[in-house]
């Protein structure tokens, strides 16, 4: 009886240690990277520290930006980001995906239906990459409940749609659900896809004066209704309003008057905030509705400043 009790205590203590793991600082000084193919000729780079012997590690999947026409998974700033996150104990993967708009415009002269098809293709490839990693979860020692998608600009649009498009989710096990999502200047094309049943913890970085991907509810690239590329998108401001209305968690960092450079600022300068989100909102499962505001001395003629920016003046 005493032996069984001790085993139970050990088991509970082990779970507590795993769930209380901190990712706030660097733990390891060495990182290895392995490149693998996950779908046809598409590749991914898997970053982890050989010094990290823990099991049930969180997994962060990063999808680069570039308007679905450019960008690479192994750009220097992205490599640095992946290495730094892996040194904190977070297995980090940067993936390639089909650049369906390569050599083409993704602006107002590109038909809206083609933009939606681009989102769909990229979302399917993101979930295919996820499934590839799920099949190797024992080898990678990852916790399938703590898989977080992240992306910048086009990559952020890809991961948001990967979480909410039913077709993309069909690539995954029926009982699987992402642990969280980090969007860096991203948006969704249909906000009704986000419901109390489908919502997951999400962190957003977005500038209110983003000229390409709207912070609120506005057309992509702010195209006019007569343009072929007129497509309404819902950015961070609109999404967290929806999440608030259905009482779901969110972590919003708003850059007042910030432009589209906020697609890259987070993976270069906001690693602590991303690690905090993964630790508290995903691994520990805390329910939080966080709004942080970064003020600016600049002005914006594109859209009216949201209330949280006016109140911060």
For range 235-240, the mean pLDDT: 98
pLDDT for 3 beyond 60? no
What is the tens place of the pLDDT at every residue in 261-293? 999 999 999 999 999 999 999 999 999 999 999
pLDDT for 100 beyond 70? yes
How confident is the model at residue 298, as a pLDDT?
Answer: 77
H/E stretch holding 254 reads: strand 250-255
Q: How do the domains of the chain map onto residue ranges? A: 2-310
Fold entry, domain 2-310: Rossmann fold (3.40.50)
Q: Which of 5-14, 130-139, 293-302 has the lowest mean pLDDT?
A: 5-14
d(CA 2, CA 57): 31
How confident is the model at residue 7, as a pLDDT?
Answer: 41
What is the tens place of the pLDDT at every residue in 63-98? 999 999 999 999 999 999 999 999 999 999 999 999
pLDDT for 172 beyond 90? yes
How confident is the model at residue 15, as a pLDDT?
Answer: 43
Q: Which of 66-70, 91-95, 117-121, 298-302 has the lowest mean pLDDT?
A: 298-302
193: left (phi over 0), alpha (psi -120 to 50) or beta: alpha
pTM: 0.92
pLDDT confidence of 9, banded at 50, 70, 90? very low
Say if residue 147 is exposed, middle or buried (CB neighbours under 10 Å; 0-12, 13-18, 19+): buried
For range 1-5, the mean pLDDT: 46
CB atoms within 10 A of CB 12: 10
User: Which residues fall within 8 angstroms of residue 188, CB to CB, at 6 or more apart?
Assistant: 157, 160, 161, 164, 194, 233, 234, 239
Residue 274: strand, helix, or coil: helix
Give the residue with greater pLDDT, 242 vs 40.
Answer: 242
How confident is the model at residue 12, as a pLDDT?
Answer: 41
User: With pLDDT > 90 as the criterion, what percentage of the chain qualifies?
Assistant: 88
pLDDT confidence of 6, banded at 50, 70, 90? very low
How confident is the model at residue 299, as a pLDDT?
Answer: 87
pLDDT for 189 beyond 80? yes
pLDDT for 294 beyond 50? yes
Q: How far is CA 26 from CA 23, 85, 87, 203, in A?
A: 7, 8, 5, 21
pLDDT confidence of 20, banded at 50, 70, 90? low
* Residues 288 and 249: beta-carbon distance below 8 Å: yes
How confident is the model at residue 4, as a pLDDT?
Answer: 47
For range 146-174, the mean pLDDT: 97
pLDDT for 2 beyond 50? no
pLDDT for 127 beyond 70? yes
How confident is the model at residue 295, as a pLDDT?
Answer: 87
Q: Where would I find the H helices in the chain?
A: 2-19, 76-87, 112-134, 137-140, 154-164, 166-169, 236-245, 265-269, 271-276, 307-310
User: With pLDDT > 70 as the criterion, what percentage of the chain qualifies?
Assistant: 92
Average pLDDT, the chain: 93
How confident is the model at residue 14, as a pLDDT?
Answer: 43
d(CA 18, CA 30): 21
| Cα 150 from chain centroid (whole Å) | 2
How confident is the model at residue 270, as a pLDDT?
Answer: 97
| Token pair of 92 as six digits | 């980090």
* Residues 270 and 205: beta-carbon distance below 8 Å: yes
How confident is the model at residue 11, as a pLDDT?
Answer: 42
């Amino acid at each position: 009886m005493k032996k069984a009790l001790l085993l139970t205590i050990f088991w509970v203590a082990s779970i507590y240690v795993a769930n209380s793991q901190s990712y706030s600082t660097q733990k390891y000084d060495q990182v290895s990277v392995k490149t693998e193919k996950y779908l046809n000729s598409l590749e991914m780079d898997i970053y982890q520290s050989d010094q990290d012997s823990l099991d049930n590690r969180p997994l962060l999947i990063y999808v680069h930006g570039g308007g679905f026409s450019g960008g690479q998974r192994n750009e220097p700033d992205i490599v640095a980001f992946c290495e730094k996150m892996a040194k904190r104990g977070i297995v980090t993967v940067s993936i390639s995906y089909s650049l369906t708009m390569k050599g083409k415009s993704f602006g107002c002269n590109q038909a809206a239906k083609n933009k939606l098809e681009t989102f769909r293709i990229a979302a399917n490839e993101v979930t295919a990459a996820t499934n590839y990693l799920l099949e190797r979860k024992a080898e990678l020692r990852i916790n399938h409940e703590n898989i977080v998608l992240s992306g910048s600009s086009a990559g952020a649009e890809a991961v948001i749609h990967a979480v909410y498009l039913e077709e993309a989710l069909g690539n995954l096990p029926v009982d699987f659900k992402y642990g969280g999502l980090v969007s860096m200047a991203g948006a969704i094309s249909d906000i009704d896809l986000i419901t109390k049943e489908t919502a997951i913890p999400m962190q957003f970085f977005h500038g209110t004066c983003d000229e390409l991907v709207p912070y609120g509810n506005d057309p992509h690239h702010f195209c006019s209704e007569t343009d072929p590329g007129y497509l309404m998108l819902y950015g961070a401001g609109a999404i967290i309003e929806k999440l608030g209305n259905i009482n779901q968690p969110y972590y919003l960092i708003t850059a007042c008057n910030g432009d589209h450079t906020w697609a890259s600022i987070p993976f270069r300068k906001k690693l602590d905030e991303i690690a905090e989100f993964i630790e508290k909102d995903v691994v520990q499962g805390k329910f939080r509705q966080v709004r942080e505001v970064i003020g600016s001395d600049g002005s914006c003629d594109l859209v009216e400043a949201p209330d949280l920016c006016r109140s911060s003046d």
